[in-house]
Chain A
Amino acid sequence: QSVLTQPPSVSGAPGQRVTISCTGSSSNIGAGHDVHWYQQLPGRAPKLLIYAYTNRPSGVPDRFSASKSGTSASLAITGLQAEDEAHYYCQSFDTSLSGSMIFGGGTKLTVL
């Protein structure tokens, strides 16, 4: 069971907007630790999509955005495209015990 909770799956039609939530607690997101998002295409290693809550690496389209509120974060994808079909993971840091980098369990996005 992951420390960060994501919905197992979401779906949307091409052109639509979808959001993926990432729920944490007071020892990670709620403590102010940055949230990062990764996209994983089939057979590939995860690729950084969003870092430090809202920043996009070069080459990532502005259709991808993220936000944070309290102990949760969200990834939004607008203008859905078939190539967006992938697994998405959130990641943060947890200060409980000796500190650890943590991931969400992942969300499979299906483009209908």
Chain B
Amino acid sequence: EVQLVESGGDLVQPGRSLRLSCAASGFTFDHYAMHWVRQAPGKGPEWVAGINWNSGAKGYADSVKGRFTISRDNAKTSLYLLMNSLRPEDTAFYHCAKGQSSGWNSNWFDPWGQGTLVTVSS
């Protein structure tokens, strides 16, 4: 069974940094692209970033470009999201999601982890 477990969410002040992690199991991690998708309370999902199987290609939403960095460690079957210069509008549940091919673009997300909550507030 595929499992994705996120961690690292916290309450942080605007302008600070935070690193999220996602531990993956139940599938051949280094065969698939991985993504971060966030969902603010009461809102729809918003794709944040995607990374291909070998970290050779990455994509970011315009809202986080230049501030967030997605990375992965295939040996540890883990996905990461480094978030810098956090803003109140970054407040959301952050879900790790598995892509369906090796490339990050034009995929669907299945499954999703349960998410970790990031709250940006002073």
Contact = CB atoms under 8 A, between A and B. Distances in A.
Mostly, the B contact residues are loop
A49 to B, nearest CB: 10
B44 A34 contact: no
Interface in A37-95: 38, 44-48, 51-52, 57, 87, 89, 91, 93
A45 B47 contact: no
Given A34-B106, A45-B114, A89-B45, 13 more contacts: A38-B45, A38-B109, A44-B114, A45-B95, A46-B112, A89-B44, A91-B45, A97-B62, A99-B105, A100-B47, A101-B59, A101-B105, A103-B47
B47 A102 contact: yes
Contacts of A33: 106
B46 interface: yes
B108 A47 contact: no
Interface residues of A, number: 27
Interface residues of B, number: 23
Most chain A CB neighbours (cut-off 10 Å) among B45, B100, B115: B45
Interface of A: 2, 33-34, 36, 38, 44-48, 51-52, 57, 87, 89, 91, 93, 97-106
Contacts of A38: 45, 109
B10 interface: no
A34 B108 contact: yes
Nearest to A2: B44
A70 to B, nearest CB: 19
Interface of B: 35, 39, 44-47, 50, 59, 61-62, 95, 100, 105-115
Contacts of B45: 38, 46, 89, 91, 103
Contact of A48 (B59, B106, B111, B113): B111
Contacts of A44: 114
Contact of B35 (A34, A36, A98, A101): A101
A34 B109 CA distance: 12
Contacts of B35: 101
